[in-house]
Amino acid sequence: MSPQAASGLRSAVAAALSAASLNTPISIRLRLGKQPPARPPARESFRSSQCEGGSLITDHSVLPIFTLRKQRECVSAPCRAVALCEGGFTLLELLIVIGIIAVLMVLIVPAFTTIKSAGDVTSAAYTIKGALDTARTYAKANNTYTWVGFYEENVSNPVSPNSDTPPVGRIVMSIVASKDGTMLYTGNLGTPVILDPPSSGTLIQVGKLTKIDNVHLKTFAAATATPPPDTFATRPAATSTAAQVGDTTPPNPSLTFHYPVASSPAQYTFVKAVQFSPRGECIITNSNYTSARIAEVGLVPTHGATEPSPVPQNVAAVQINGFAGDVRIYRR
């Protein structure tokens, strides 16, 4: 066989193998003798990528003739572009990142604790303001007298009510109203008065019992600065300690009512109370029974049943105008 014939046979066999891999029927013709000059391989259009064992194929490029084995290797081989994108962290790098996160958490957690405490005091102040506004509105709308009672117990004990000491950390509030519209007592409160003797029908409950955790009633000293600006340090001074609701005030509370009303034994006994008249005027029910221009309820945050010492910065004072009855909150 001449060299030209042998070359033609090899080309035909290679083309047959390539076509077989593409499931394309072909026919092979052998011609002996002198062959015409071989034509360049046909051009086809394919899309592919740079693979091991092959070459970059783009539109209108020459498709090289591979053997079946070489084509299978090209298809199964991972592409370099994908392999270059794969990566990861070493164990040392991972440990360094975890260490940095741990240090940041140690630094940030106290800040979150302070923010939570400030949020607790703010929420408690607005809850108390809401209760006072509700009592005043009810008194004016129904032409009667209302009282908002304050009671504090040990928050470490989840059972409520409880008599554990110290009675710190959970404030309980109740709103009651005179059933017949009268004040239920007369004159100066020289002697204690029980507004709802057992089995009596003198009071009615207004709304549900309200409980606030992680807050403590506190008697604040009078503000030493004068406005402006109008802040906690420059807030109006309470008229007297008899016009304050805190841990040591009022000094001689003289009104008592219970929850449930007229019950014996009662779940809660309220002796610290704010009274509203049908005209919306406010009085802290102390023995002197005098209207005060400014009455105040002081609040500090607690961690469990432990009273903070010294007094923290995030405190609040809820002030009531004794004549107009409007309520305002001062934060520090």
**Is the pLDDT score of 22 beyond 70?**
no
Q: Are 277 and 140 in contact (CB under 8 A)?
A: no
3-state secondary structure of 10: helix
Reference 313, options 296, 297, 301; nearest CA is 301
User: Does residue 41 sit in the same domain as residue 131?
Assistant: no
The pair of structure tokens assigned to 241 is 């300690």
User: Does residue 139 sit in the same domain as residue 231?
Assistant: yes
- The most confident of 36-40, 167-171, 227-231, 312-316, by mean pLDDT: 167-171
User: Does residue 59 sit in the same domain as residue 153?
Assistant: no
User: Does residue 66 sit in the same domain as residue 190?
Assistant: no
User: Does residue 175 sit in the same domain as residue 233?
Assistant: yes
% of the chain residues with pLDDT over 70: 69
Residue-wise pLDDT for 55-96, tens only, equals 444 444 444 544 556 656 655 555 554 444 556 779 888 999
End position of a domain, from candidates 81, 114, 149: 81
307 pLDDT band, cuts 50/70/90, is confident
pTM over 0.75: no
User: Does residue 24 sit in the same domain as residue 149?
Assistant: no
User: Does residue 63 sit in the same domain as residue 132?
Assistant: no
What's the mean pLDDT when you consider all of the chain? Answer: 79
End position of a domain, from candidates 66, 81, 96: 81
Report pLDDT for 256: 94
End position of a domain, from candidates 62, 81, 100: 81
Provide the number of structural domains found in the chain: 2
Question: Does any domain span residue 114?
Answer: no
**Is the pLDDT score of 6 beyond 80?**
no
Question: Does any domain span residue 90?
Answer: no
Q: How far is residue 253's CA from residue 289's CA, in Å, rounded to a whole number?
A: 10
User: Does residue 236 sit in the same domain as residue 327?
Assistant: yes
Angle CA(318)–CA(323)–CA(327) in degrees, nearest 5? 25
Report pLDDT for 13: 57
User: Does residue 53 sit in the same domain as residue 147?
Assistant: no
- What are the φ/ψ torsions at residue 139 (nearest 5 degrees)? -60, -45
**Is the pLDDT score of 114 beyond 50?**
no
Question: Does any domain span residue 120?
Answer: no
User: Does residue 252 sit in the same domain as residue 135?
Assistant: yes
Whole domain around residue 237: which residue ranges?
125-331
Average pLDDT over residues 156-168: 93
- Using left for φ > 0, alpha for ψ between -120 and 50, and beta otherwise, residue 280 falls in left
Question: Does any domain span residue 87?
Answer: no
User: Does residue 233 sit in the same domain as residue 324?
Assistant: yes
Question: Does any domain span residue 12?
Answer: yes
How do strand 255-259 and strand 193-194 relate by DSSP bridges? parallel
DSSP string, 89-129: --HHHHHHHHHHHHHHHHHHHHHHHHHHHHHHHHHHHHHHH
Question: Does any domain span residue 60?
Answer: yes
Question: Does any domain span residue 201?
Answer: yes
User: Does residue 240 sit in the same domain as residue 299?
Assistant: yes
Question: Does any domain span residue 96?
Answer: no
Burial of 281 (0-12, 13-18, 19+ CB in 10 A): middle
How do strand 210-213 and strand 255-259 relate by DSSP bridges? unpaired
